[in-house]
Structure 1
Amino acid sequence: MAIPTMLDALVRVAGPSGQEARAAALWREHCEPFAAETGVDVNGSSWARVPGTGGGPTLALVGHIDEIGLHITHIDDEGFLRFGQVGGWDPVQLVGQRVVLSTRGGEVRGVIGRKAIHVMDAEERKQAPELKGLHIDIGAASGDEAKALVRIGDMGVIDVAPLELPNNRMVSRALDNRVGCYVAARAAQLVAERGGAPGDVLAMAVVQEEIGLQGAKTAAFRHRPDVAIVIDVTHANDTPGSEVGQDTHHKLGTGPVIERGSLLHPRVSDLLEDAATAENIGHTLSSSARSTGTDADAFTISRAGIPTGLASVPLRYMHSAVETVCIDDIEHTAALLAAFAMRLTPGEAFAR
């Protein structure tokens, strides 16, 4: 199975938290052929609506379009750039990476450098790198030359292209969470191809999840859906060093992960399981006792509360340049959410 065209396009566009506009515009463009309406709010969160056939609850399918990145904090006299993180990075992941910065004049490329191992003392070699010990080299010969190209506050991402691996696997940066945005759009497209669900289906690509669920907070308030499913990625625990029980073994290729937990609405989680069983879609379960760390946390408490569920795609090496997923899992998650939408009948009750 080839990488889906929309997903391939989405991961090639830089969109760190707060600068998601290009990725969001591309997402809306891909939604236009099947959606009756697309739009974007003042914060940058996008939506695509597939009208219902009458009387059913409005369902929001929510992914976040932002990715983790870097922001420039200082330019020294020699032309080297110091930077901070946008979202959460393990600095080990950054050493030796190529980066692309989005600036007023266009894209500027560089590399993340660190003192070579040959000139480190014995203690330095034992220590994990810290952000303060890294810099970005854009090839500038002076501070003035660098400042003519880059400003404080410019943002960037790791500069890598997606890669196909055997067994329908895909590697890229930004799969967290362009995957969720793709799934939301693909599920809405499947519903449109079936003539519509009982209620409206509102695919959403919200912003700024990595810095505090900000886009989800405002998008949930604006659209006020009757029920919501957040789509994100979760840790695939099939790599060396992972130890879990059989029922919570989220291997690549085992399908969507349906979350159950205190914050999530039990009826929504049950309906997701029912849809997976009815459609013979392989899946695993996960449990959370407190917050989920996803946009579901924002949707479930918006206004007077929105019944919210969480479906995730297993992913290896989260928050790195080599995030890895199985394309089958992505497509099966979209199929599950389309089935969920089609089964939401008028008068569906969500009272606890």
Structure 2
Amino acid sequence: MSLPETLHKLVTAAGPSGYEQAPAAVFREAAAAFAEVSYDSVGSTVARVPGTGDGPSVAVVGHIDEIGLIVHHIDDDGYLWFTGVGGWDPIILVGQRVEVATRAGRIAGVVGKKPIHLMRDDDRKKVPQLKDLHIDIGAADGDAARRLVRIGDVAVIDAEPVELPNGRYVSRSFDNRLGCYVALEAARLVSEAGGATGDVFAVAVTQEEITFGGARTTAYSLEPDIAIVVDVTFATDQPGIDEKELGKHRFGSGGVLNRGSTMDPQVFELLHAAGEEEGIPFTVSASARATGTDADAFHISRGGIPTGVVSVPLRYMHSPVEMVQLDDVDNAARLIAAFARRLRPDIDFKR
């Protein structure tokens, strides 16, 4: 399977939390081919596929932001000092090429630190911290750097998608442009099949990596009858991961349905039935508390929104080499579309 053009555009558009305009534009352009598109002041996007009757509305939600870096100081030698936007393992950043988004366009840079040759023995054994790292854009001095970059400019790792065998790809920002792409595909499949009984919304929300801000505001304003949050989860066929702790969610096993304390039980059962009866592969994970996804905002919005989570197995999360198997992406979208089309108008979620 080749990487779909829309997904390629999504993962190569730089958009850390709060600065998601570029990937949001890709999402809106793709959605406009089959849906009614609107967006808000927080930067979240809703693509509506109108329902054919009085059935429940379903929001299929991915977050459009990615982790990144934000410049908080430019020293007199022209180096940029930064902190993380979202959760970073600092060791991943060492030696990476980055692109800094400025008002004049993208600027190339590299993440540097003190060379190992000049470090004391004890320091060589320590994991670097963000405060030990800087971005070098090749500026001659601080004045030259400040003419190009402003405090508050953000950066992402510069990494193009790479195709591997067995329908697998690596890229930065699969977390969670994959969720947005699945939301788009699920809504497109519903539209292509003639619609569902109620409205189906493909939603790309902002700021998940820092505040759940886009999920909070969209859940409140859209007020769907049901929310299906799509995110990534840990593929368990990676060295060092214990399936006794996380369950068994290997590449090729389809989407992962979350079942747990904050998930609506009827939504889970309907997703489960859709997968079984349509012959779409999936696995099941369990959560006893919060999910760490936008579902944590949706399920308690207003008077409560019945919520489910469908995740895509991913290796090497929060790195520039996040890896996915494309048939898992396809099967997650197919399962959600089947779920939406099977909803009855008279369904009742009170319990």
**Partner Cα distance (1:31, 1:69) in 2:** 25
Aligned amino acid, residue 320 of structure 2: A
Q: CA deviation at 1:67?
A: 0.2
2:50 match: 51
CA contact (8 A) 1:247 1:284 kept: no
Aligned amino acid, residue 54 of structure 1: G
2:112 match: 113
Task: After TM superposition, list the pairs within 5 Å mapping 1:294-309 onto structure 2.
Answer: 294-309=293-308
2:17 match: 17
- Shift of the 46–240 alpha-carbon distance from structure 1 to 2, 3 Å rule, reads same
User: RMSD across aligned C-alpha pairs, in angstroms?
Assistant: 1.0
Aligned amino acid, residue 349 of structure 1: D
1:83 match: 82
Structure 1 unaligned runs (5+)? none
2:288 match: 289
Cα deviation, 1:189-209, whole Å, max 9, x if unaligned, reads: 000000101110001000000
Q: CA deviation at 1:246?
A: 11
Q: CA deviation at 1:240?
A: 1.1
Secondary structure at the counterpart of residue 309 of structure 1 = strand
Aligned amino acid, residue 66 of structure 1: D
**Partner Cα distance (1:215, 1:229) in 2:** 15
**Partner Cα distance (2:170, 2:340) in 1:** 29
Secondary structure at the counterpart of residue 211 of structure 1 = coil
Aligned amino acid, residue 4 of structure 2: P
- Shift of the 247–324 alpha-carbon distance from structure 1 to 2, 3 Å rule, reads closer
CA contact (8 A) 1:231 1:312 kept: yes
TM-score normalised by structure 2 residue count: 0.99
Q: CA deviation at 1:128?
A: 0.4
Cα deviation, 1:144-190, whole Å, max 9, x if unaligned, reads: 00000000110010011001110000100000000000000000000
1:34 match: 34
- Shift of the 174–144 alpha-carbon distance from structure 1 to 2, 3 Å rule, reads same
Matched, 1:260 2:259: yes
Q: CA deviation at 1:243?
A: 2.0
2:348 match: 349
**Partner Cα distance (1:286, 1:69) in 2:** 28
Cα deviation, 1:271-295, whole Å, max 9, x if unaligned, reads: 1100000111111110001100000
Q: CA deviation at 1:63?
A: 0.2
Q: CA deviation at 1:119?
A: 0.9
Secondary structure at the counterpart of residue 349 of structure 1 = coil
**Partner Cα distance (2:38, 2:137) in 1:** 36
Secondary structure at the counterpart of residue 220 of structure 2 = helix
Matched, 1:2 2:5: no
Aligned amino acid, residue 50 of structure 2: P
1:137 match: 136
Aligned amino acid, residue 8 of structure 2: D
Secondary structure at the counterpart of residue 132 of structure 1 = helix
Q: Percent identity?
A: 58
Secondary structure at the counterpart of residue 321 of structure 1 = coil
**Partner Cα distance (2:38, 2:243) in 1:** 42
Secondary structure at the counterpart of residue 198 of structure 2 = coil
Secondary structure at the counterpart of residue 25 of structure 1 = helix
Cα deviation, 1:56-93, whole Å, max 9, x if unaligned, reads: 10000000000000000100110001000000000001
Cα deviation, 1:309-343, whole Å, max 9, x if unaligned, reads: 00000000110010000000000000000000001
**Partner Cα distance (2:268, 2:301) in 1:** 18
TM-score normalised by structure 1 residue count: 0.99
Structure 2 unaligned runs (5+)? none
**Partner Cα distance (2:59, 2:264) in 1:** 14
Aligned amino acid, residue 176 of structure 2: N
CA contact (8 A) 2:256 2:312 kept: yes
Q: CA deviation at 1:345?
A: 1.0
**Partner Cα distance (2:41, 2:336) in 1:** 27
2:64 match: 65
Matched, 1:326 2:325: yes
CA contact (8 A) 2:236 2:246 kept: no
Which aligned runs of 4 or more in structure 1 are off by greater than 4 angstroms? none
CA contact (8 A) 1:51 1:201 kept: yes
Q: CA deviation at 1:247?
A: 9.4
1:184 match: 183
CA contact (8 A) 2:62 2:180 kept: yes
Q: CA deviation at 1:248?
A: 2.1
Matched, 1:153 2:152: yes
Cα deviation, 1:213-270, whole Å, max 9, x if unaligned, reads: 1100000000000001000000111111222149921111110000000011111011
CA contact (8 A) 1:47 1:202 kept: yes
Secondary structure at the counterpart of residue 195 of structure 2 = coil
1:197 match: 196
2:91 match: 92
